[in-house]
């Protein structure tokens, strides 16, 4: 019996992959661990013969992978997004080792959430802007003297840890999620990003930054709200507050001096 059903809510997202063969090798690494959901974000080159040759039996995983233009589109319906990165960047994120990342991912998926593990370009990894879309980072503690890790190898490490966590938790065959009356669905990535956009605009309209660069404050606010894991209803409430703040700011701006 195929074990591709182990983690149907977990997707592996490859961003800006430069070599088609690496996409095929990543698909193979996933399938060996019972994973099938692959998403390709703006690859530099389309899938070709080499990509399918290197998938070596995982042609179904590779061939069914949707290709989208942006990372935001790839993870719009997710409630947990972890970005794999090789080095510290200006974007300060909570950081997990692979085993802890797998525990977080499998736990969320077991709750019925859509989750994503995101991998960047072979040479440069994920940009700061792309990491900003992630809730936390994953770092594979390779030897500092030779830290370069092939994309497919990084996918294999995370896929293995996910599989081990699934097997340890006895979740080899997912069961339908039970929704308890009164439970509030967690806000999706798309809903949170829309909230952050409105939050940034509101802070500008009320002159919160007083001429200071807004980046630092927004990074801290993003981390605060991501830690809180607000529900859809809570995000709607927050956006209602922001809408009123924006309305009052516009009334004040229109008032005669």
pLDDT, one tens digit per residue, over 41-77 is: 999 999 999 999 999 999 999 999 999 999 999 999 9
234 pLDDT higher than 80: yes
Domains by residue range for the chain, with CATH? 10-169 (3.40.1280.10), 189-254 (1.10.8.590)
Average pLDDT over residues 93-99: 93
150 pLDDT higher than 50: yes
The contacts of residue 173 (CB under 8 Å, 6+ apart) are 5, 6
pLDDT of residue 173: 43
pLDDT band for position 252 (50/70/90)? confident
Percent of the chain with pLDDT over 90: 60
- Burial of 138 per CB tally in 10 Å (0-12, 13-18, 19+): buried
Secondary structure (3-state) at 113: coil
Q: What is the dihedral sign for C-alpha 200, 124, 156, 43?
A: positive
- Burial of 83 per CB tally in 10 Å (0-12, 13-18, 19+): buried
Q: What is the pLDDT of residues 182-223, one digit of tens each?
A: 468 889 889 998 998 999 999 988 989 888 888 888 888 888
pLDDT band for position 181 (50/70/90)? very low
pLDDT of residue 174: 42
pLDDT of residue 151: 96
Residue 135 to residue 226: CA distance in whole angstroms: 6
Whether the Cβ atoms of residue 82 and residue 137 lie closer than 8 Å to each other: yes
pLDDT of residue 26: 98
Q: Which token pair is 132?
A: 């900003």
pLDDT of residue 3: 40
Residue 12 to residue 39: CA distance in whole angstroms: 6
Please give the residue that has the higher pLDDT: either 93 or 174: 93
pLDDT band for position 146 (50/70/90)? confident
């Amino acid at each position: 019996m195929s074990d591709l059903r182990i983690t149907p809510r977990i997707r592996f997202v490859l961003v800006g992959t430069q070599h088609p063969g690496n996409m095929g090798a990543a698909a193979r690494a996933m399938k060996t661990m019972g994973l099938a959901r692959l998403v390709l974000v703006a690859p530099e080159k389309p899938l070709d013969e080499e990509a399918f040759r290197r998938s070596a039996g995982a042609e179904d995983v590779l061939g069914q992978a949707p290709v989208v233009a942006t990372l935001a589109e790839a993870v719009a319906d997710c409630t947990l997004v972890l970005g794999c990165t090789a080095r510290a960047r200006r974007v300060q994120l909570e950081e997990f080792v692979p085993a802890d990342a797998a525990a977080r991912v499998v736990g969320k998926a077991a709750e019925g959430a859509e989750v994503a593990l995101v991998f960047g370009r072979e040479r440069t990894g994920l940009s700061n802007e792309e990491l900003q879309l992630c809730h936390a980072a994953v770092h594979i503690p390779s030897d500092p003297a030779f830290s370069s890790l092939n994309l497919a190898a990084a996918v294999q490490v995370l896929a293995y840890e996910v599989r081990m966590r699934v097997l340890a938790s006895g979740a080899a065959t997912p069961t339908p999620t039970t929704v308890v009356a009164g439970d509030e669905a967690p806000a999706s990535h798309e809903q949170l990003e829309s909230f952050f956009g409105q939050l940034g605009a509101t802070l500008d309209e009320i002159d919160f930054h007083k001429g200071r660069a807004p980046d630092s404050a927004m990074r801290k606010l993003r981390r605060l709200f991501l830690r809180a894991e607000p529900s859809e209803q809570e995000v709607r409430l927050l956006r209602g507050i922001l809408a009123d703040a924006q309305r009052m700011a516009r009334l004040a701006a229109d008032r005669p001096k």
